[in-house]
Amino acid sequence: MKLDDSDFALFRLPERFSLDRADLDIRWRQMQGSAHPDRFVGEGAASQRLAMQWSVRINEAYRRLREPLTRAAYLCELRGAPISAHTNTAMPADFLLQQMAWREALDDADDSVALAKLEAEVLAGERDLLGQLDTLLDQQSAPRQAAERVRALMFINRFRADLAERIDAFHD
């Protein structure tokens, strides 16, 4: 067991997209139970430092594996198709149109009903993309196409934040 093992190896999980969240949570809590700095209070500075390093690493891996988006991005990278969001904007063609339509709908939405409708649509789109990732990563081993879906999901993430802001504005 090394600090630079992959997130999957660290948690002793197979390197795949589909994952049992409850099982991951249990693994995380058990590993923190042995590595957390609280377990080494009074054992000197060297032990504290070591525990800190491991505890940080376990949290990092947990955070990345926990979210489908970051988990998928990580798998793409492990399989030679890094997301590189700043330099590579390749997305599925139909999503580009979809994305413009959503932007316009957000600009035009003038009541909470319209916003709720848009939110439901975006959530459905997100579920659909996650389903595609499952196929592309676990069954077809097509990391490049998967990476395009990940970029689309990153757009949805940002869009959902904007949407939430507008929804809040109506509530306050």
> Residue 48 or residue 92: which is nearer to other proteins going by CB?
48
Residue ranges in contact with other proteins by CB under 8 A = 1, 8, 11-16, 23, 26-27, 29-39, 41-47, 50-52, 54-56, 58-60, 62-63, 164, 172
Whichever of 55 and 98 has its CB closer to other proteins, that residue is 55
Minimum Å gap between C-beta 70 and other proteins is: 12
- Residue 8 CB, nearest approach to other proteins (Å): 8
Q: What is the Rg, in whole angstroms, of the alpha carbon atoms belonging to the chain? A: 20
When the beta carbons of 101 and 169 are compared against other proteins, the nearer one is 169
Beta carbon of residue 129, minimum distance to other proteins (angstroms, whole number): 18
For residues 78 and 106, which CB has a smaller minimum distance to other proteins in the complex?
78
Question: What is the 3-state secondary structure of 116-132?
Answer: HHHHHHHHHHHHHHHHH
**Whose CA is closest to 50, among 11, 5, 3?**
3
Secondary structure element (H or E) that encloses residue 150, with its range:
helix 143-171
Query: What are the helix (H) ranges across 11-142?
Result: 21-35, 45-66, 68-78, 93-108, 112-134
